Structure 1
Amino acid sequence: MATSSKRALWKGAISFGLVHIPIALHSATASQGIDFDWLDRRTMDPVGYKRVNKVTGKEVDRDDIVKGVEYDDGEYVVLSAEEISAAYPKTTQTIEIESFVSIDDIPFVYLDRPYYTSPIGKGDKVYALLREILHKTNKVGVAKVVIQTRQHLAVLMACGPALILNLLRWSDEIRSWEDLNPPARGPKGAGLTDKEMKMGEQLVEDMSAPWKPEQFSDSFREQILALVREKAEAGETESVSEPESHEHKDGSAKILDLTEMLRRSLDKDGKTTRKPSGAAKSVTKTAKSSQGKRSAGGASKKAASKDNASKDKKARKSTRSTAKKASRKTSGGRKAA
């Protein structure tokens, strides 16, 4: 059994007739399922969820999302946030009991989620009075209650030393069993003989035992946790760190990298826009040094390129001059001949 929680989820009062019982509401259950997180097997980075347009496959900004209700096949009615907010029930801090009914009249299929209630202020005696009456009469109080802007149907029932508020499903949420064609009720209607009934009753009696919930457990959860412990003790673990995010006015998250930090620290001329400190000084100094080396290297290359161009020009000029002289000599020799 999970550890009980003393943290109050809600504070209000139970009310019926002129009776007013101040109470606090506490969670009566704790989820014990295995929480499998998504990880990228290549980098062991956590994998999150995105709001994606199912047609284009592109991510959709939060501001571009509206809420709609499907009215017909493929036809939606879009509702604004104001229209939805106006439809919320008025929040009250009261569990208003509307009637008392026999606990046997409420099928288990209606039971949804239980909460413990505890008396606060000077409500102990009235709390105990209602608890004892419900125990004695085998009745429950049917009530409506608003929790976190949502209205619920609920039953207030006595269970041991506590009064439990169990939220119910609404009647239109319960599916009918008529289409399942169950056998008719009653031994005769179902075609059962007296001998079959006696043998069945004897078998149930032989297998009967006191209710001990601790004897039952989730074998899948236990096996997974045992496997996790075994691997952890053998050192088979992976380090996973959440990416650091920064909230902006538009609600979106932006991850700053080193390039962005340098861009903000340096202006176009390579000078700092503000006096850096600590690690920023070291980064700026390194950036300046690297930029200076690149500038010096670039100047040397430019000078060498200019010198080579000058030499090439002189060589081409010398070659043209020699060719002209040779041409004049050849022409003179031909004339003499």
Structure 2
Amino acid sequence: MSRIIWKGAISFGLVNIPVVVKPASRSHTLDLDMLDKRDMAPIGYQRINKHTGKTVESDNIVKGYAYEKDEYVVLSDEDFRQANVEATQTVDIVSFVEAASIPPYYFETPYYLEPDKRGERGYALLHETMRRTGRAALALVVLRNRQHLAALLVFGKALVLNTMRFADEVLPIEELSLPKGGKQGASPREVDMARKLVDDMSEEWAPEQFRDTYRDDLLKLIDAKIKSGNTHLLTPASKDSAPSSKGAKVIDMMALLRDSLGKRGRRAGAEAPAAKKAPARKVAAKKVATKKVATKKAATKTAAAKAATRKTSAARKTPAKRSTAKKAA
């Protein structure tokens, strides 16, 4: 199971529920090194002292806040802990809101909450209350030396802590150029056909059927390079990868929707069960008919061959008669 990254308690009112925080996600990004293409030597990232130009060991690196130019206040790990002990040890619930009312772009990183020692009963109470009311808890929590706004959500039998962006970190949606209706809007016919397509493509939520296919394809390409021995060969740019410079086309949305529904229908037909076999009598009759046709064709070919043989022999005999007549003369 994932490691514990934080220990503390959920706090709301006078209730205190001991919990531990565990990661609810993991990264599958490929770990790529930067190389010098001339000799394929790795390029390291060094921490350089900007005054001396020399490398600084990690033990000598501290964090500092610049309150004026070139003037710093140094902060240690203990300073971060002592800044607000209560904040660093509690998921402090501020209020409860309708879970469905939180816009999705506020969510950032999910974490699992697990009850710690003597926290099971309070955990179960909070979980069941939130489940029945359909509420999410908005809370403040300090993780990795940074305070986060967070939402406590119910999922199955667990509570999930999802860190969120603060309001000033979210750009105003009003700045977007969005369709305003009229010619830019969708017609009732288009909406009706689009709904049919959505209904046709609807299925149960099954995230395990999706994979990072780009990562898989990249790993296959890496494996192929290793097997072929081209471990240091740079692949030239493909012409197909160049961006298209064609102008924008007028989109016939109804035609696209019709074609999409047609393709879905053909695919469903291809996946349908195979047609039943014809009865034995009909199959036998077909075989007999096929046999008769084959016999007729064979007879025709034989007759044609005989006629051709007769013509050839007649042609051969004719010159012989002529030569005999000349001799007699």
Describe the superposition over 1:183-211 as per-residue Cα deviations: whole angstroms up to 9, x where unpaired. 35xx8998555434333322221111111
| Partner amino acid, structure 2, of 1:138 | G
My pick for the range that moved more, 173-182 or 21-30, is 173-182
2:6 maps to which residue? 10
Flag the structure with higher helix content. Answer: 2
Of residues 177, 182, 205, the one that matches 2:199 is 205
Q: Can you give the 5+ residue segments of structure 1 that lack an aligned partner in the other structure?
A: 239-337
Residue 114 (1) aligns with residue 90 (2): no
CA gap of 1:65–1:150, structure 2 versus 1, over 3 A, is closer
Larger radius of gyration: 1
Task: Confirm whether residue 98 of structure 1 aligns to residue 94 of structure 2.
Answer: yes
Tell me, yes or no, if structure 1 residue 214 matches structure 2 residue 208: yes
Q: Offset of 1:34 from its aligned partner?
A: 0.9
- Equivalent residue number for residue 278 of structure 1: none
Match of 2:143 in 1: 147
Q: Name the residue aligned to 1:171.
A: 167
Q: What is the identity, as a one-letter code, of the residue corresponding to 2:4?
A: A
Counterpart code for 2:19: I
Task: Give a deviation string over 1:58-92, Cα, whole Å, max 9, x none.
Answer: 835547999676x9xxx957432149986884243
CA separation of 1:43 and 1:191: change in aligned 2, threshold 3 A = closer
Query: For the Cα contact (< 8 Å) 1:68–1:76, is it kept in 2?
Result: no
TM score, norm. by length of structure 1: 0.57
8 Å contact from structure 2 (residues 46, 55) kept in 1: no
3-state SS of 1:101 partner: strand
SS of corresponding position for 2:29? coil
Identity of aligned residues (%): 40
CA deviations over 1:4-35 (Å, ceiling 9, x no partner): x3321111111112222111110111110111
Partner of 1:29: 25
RMSD: 3.5
Q: Confirm whether residue 81 of structure 1 aligns to residue 74 of structure 2.
A: yes
Which of the numbers 116, 123, 128 marks the counterpart of 1:127? Answer: 123
Contact conserved, 1:66 with 1:78, CA < 8 A, in 2? no
Question: CA 1:50/1:6 → structure 2, altered by over 3 Å: closer, same or farther?
Answer: closer
In the comparison of the two structures, how many residue pairs are matched?
226
SS in structure 1 of the partner of residue 91 of structure 2: strand
- Counterpart-to-counterpart distance in 2, 1:65 and 1:166: 30
Runs of 5+ unmatched residues, structure 2: 233-329
Matches of residues 223-242 of structure 1 in structure 2 within 5 Å?
Answer: 223-232=217-226
Could you tell which deviates more after superposition, 162-171 or 229-238?
Answer: 229-238
Contact kept in structure 1, 2:63 and 2:76, CA below 8 Å: no
SS at match of 1:133: helix
Amino acid in the other structure paired with 2:111: Y
Give 1:49 shift.
1.4
Conservation of the 8 A alpha-carbon contact between 1:68 and 1:77: no
